[in-house]
Amino acid sequence: MNFGTWNVRTLLDNTDSERPERRTALIARELGRFKIDIAALQETRRAGEGQLKEEKGGYTFFWKGLPEEERRRIHGVGFAIRNDLVKHLTEAPTGINERLSTLRINLAKNQQATIICAYAPTLDADEDIKENFYCQLDTILSEIPKEDKIILLGDFNARVGRDSDLWPGIIGKDGVGNSNSNGILLLTKCGEHNLVITNTLFRQKNKLKTSWKHPRSKHWHLLDYVITRARDRRDVLLTRAMTGTDDCWTDHRLIRSTMAIKIVPKRRLQGRKTRRKMNTQALQEPSKRALLQTTLKDHLPTEHPENVEEHWNKLKTSIITACEESIGYLTKKHQDWFDDNDKEIQQLIDNKRKAFQTWQRHTNCAAKKKIYASAKAEVQRRTRELKNIWWTKKAEEIQHLADTHDAQGFFKATKIIYGPRNHGIQPLRSSDGTKILKDKTSLWPHWSCDSAGSGSALSNIVQLMFCP
C-alpha cells in the first residue's frame, strides 16, 4: 500500500484567493497520479467534522477542524482515502481535534493498524501549545493496542537532523541537516514509544528527502514524516518526497511511503440484496415501448406448467430478461461542473506542471518563471470561466422546464445536479458514556438499545382510565 502525508495549505474554496476552486478535486487527481491509497492531510482549514466524496477524482475526504462558531479558518487535519477502500473500512476516522485524527484499518493475517494524522505547532508557537499537542499525541499512542501497527503521518514543523549515533534506532543514517527544538520533542516522543522515522532510512538524493523550502533562505528542509514502530520497519519499502507534484498551490511536497501491508475487505453481512430499479422512464418513448413488447413476445413462455411456483418463476424470469434487454436499469446520473470539464481542466494542469518543471530546471531564468506564473493564473481563470458557463447552461435548462410546467422534469433536473456531497459525521456516545461510536456496526446495536429503552420508558407511563 502507498501512504502519503501532505500539508495542502487548505481544502477551502475561496473566490478571492489565487487558488482555483475545487481544491478537493485537484488534490484527488494529484493523489491518484501518484497512486496514493491513504493520505494524511494537514492545514485543511475546514470547520467542524465531515466527509466529502469526489466521484471522478476517486477519493473521499474526511476532516476535523475548529468548531463552526470559530471565525478563524486555521489548522485542521484529515484523510483522503481511495473510494474503493472506503467501503472496506469498519469505522470512519476519529477526529480528536484540529491537530490530530486517527483511523484504524484491518490488515491481512488478522492484524490491525492505527493511522494517525498530525499537524504539530510551528517553531515559534507558545511552549504550552507544543506541550499540549505532544501530551495529546502521547495519550493516543499509549492507548493503541500493543499488537497494532502504528503509522504516524504528518507535518511536525520539526527538523530531526541526521545524528543517528545520538538517536540510535529512531533515525537512520540518511537524515537531512541539523535538528531544532521541535525536532528534539519529536525524537524524544519517538524514543518513548519505540518508533522510527522512516524518512531517514533510505539513501537517496536530498531533493527526494526534503519536503519544504524556506521562503527566505530558499533552503529545503524535512518537516513532514512517516513514522512507524521500530519492529515494523521492514514493512516500509521506501519513503520519499514526490518532486513531480508541482506546487499544487502549496509550499509542501507530498511524502509517499510504500509499505508491504494489505488492507482486508470488510466482511459482508448476509442479508437481502439491494434491488435495482428498471428504467421505466424510457417507456415514454414509443420506440422503447415497441421494443419491450417485441422482446416480451420472444421471451414469454408458451407452455404453462401445472406447478404454480414453476410457472411464476418462468414468467418472472422472462419479464426481467425482456426489460433488461429493452429498457435496462436506472443509472445514477452524476452531474458536476468540474467532472464534466475534466479533460480541459486536466490539460490546463498538465501545462502548468510542465511550466513548473521547466522553471525548476532553470530557477534563475525570469522568463521561465513568468511562463509558469502565467500558466498558473490561466488554470484559475479558465476553471472559474468553465464553472460559470456550466451553471448558466444548467440554469437555462431548468428554467425552460419550469416555463413549460414540466414539474417532473424540473425536480429531476434539480435533484441530479450536485457537487461533491458533503456529509457531516454525527457520532454517538455509548450507553455507558465511555466511547464515541462512529461505525455502522456499532451504531445499529446502540440505536436498537435506545429504541428498546424508549419502549420500556413508555410502558412505565401511568395509563389513565376514560369513562364512556
Concatenated DSSP letters for 133-187?
HHHHHHHHHHHS-TTSEEEEEEE----EES-TTTSTTTS-S--EEEE-HHHHHHH
- The CA distances from residue 266 to 85, 263, 436, in Å, are 10, 9, 21
What number does CATH give the domain 2-259? 3.60.10.10
Average pLDDT over the chain, rounded to an integer: 87
Chain segment 52-80, per-residue pLDDT in tens? 999 889 999 999 999 988 888 899 999 99
pLDDT digit string, tens, across residues 72-106: 889 999 999 999 999 889 889 999 999 999 999 99
In this prediction, residue 246 carries a pLDDT of: 66
Residue 302 is predicted with a pLDDT of 76
Judged against a pLDDT cut of 70, whether residue 438 lies above it is answered with no
User: What pLDDT sits at residue 442?
Assistant: 60
Q: What is the model's pLDDT at position 457?
A: 47
Residue 273 pLDDT greater than 70, yes or no:
no
Position 413 pLDDT exceeds 50:
yes
Residue 168 pLDDT greater than 50, yes or no: yes
Over residues 387-400, the mean pLDDT reads 90
In 3D space, the residue among 78, 109, 81 whose CA is nearest the CA of residue 94 turns out to be 78
Q: Any residues with CB less than 8 A from the CB of 284 and at least 6 apart, and which? A: none
Q: How far is CA 27 from the centre of its chain?
A: 10
pLDDT interval class at 363 (50, 70, 90): confident
Residue (of 18, 24, 10, 21) closest to 386 by Cα position? 21
Q: Is the pLDDT of residue 266 over 90?
A: no
Say whether pLDDT at 177 is over 70: yes
Q: What is the pLDDT of residue 163?
A: 96
Q: What are phi and psi of 302, to 5 degrees?
A: -90, -25
For residue 462, give the DSSP letter: P
What are 396-406's pLDDT values in tens digits? Answer: 988 988 888 88
Q: What's the grid cell of residue 107?
A: 490488515
Mean pLDDT of 36-58: 94
Residue pair 42/68 in contact by the 8 Å Cβ criterion: no
**Most confident of the ranges 184-198, 264-278, 331-345:** 184-198
Residue 224 pLDDT greater than 90, yes or no: yes
Give the three-class secondary structure for 54: strand
What is the pTM for the complete model shown? 0.80
Per-domain boundaries in the chain = 2-259, 280-326, 337-417
Percent of the chain whose pLDDT exceeds 90 = 54
One-letter amino acid identity for 53?
A: K
Q: Kindly tell me if the per-residue pLDDT of 443 is higher than 80.
A: no
What pLDDT, on a 0 to 100 scale, did the predictor assign at position 147?
96
For residue 271, which amino acid is it?
G
Close Cβ partners of 244 (under 8 Å, ≥ 6 residues apart): 34, 353, 357
When comparing pLDDT for 293 and 437, which is higher? 293
Of the pLDDT bands very low, low, confident and very high (cuts 50, 70, 90), residue 115 is very high
Q: What is the DSSP letter of 357?
A: H
449 vs 174, more confident: 174
Non-local CB neighbours of 72 within 8 Å, separated by 6+ positions: 66
| Residue range 302-346, pLDDT digits in tens | 777 778 888 888 888 888 898 888 888 877 767 788 888 889 998
The pLDDT of residue 448: 57
Assign 3-class secondary structure to 211-274: CEECCCCCCEECCEEEEEEHHHHHHEEEEEEEHHHCCCCCCECEEEEEECCCECCCCCCCCCCC
Sort strands 111-119 and 100-107 into parallel, antiparallel or unpaired. antiparallel
Q: Is the predicted pLDDT of residue 431 greater than 70, yes or no?
A: no
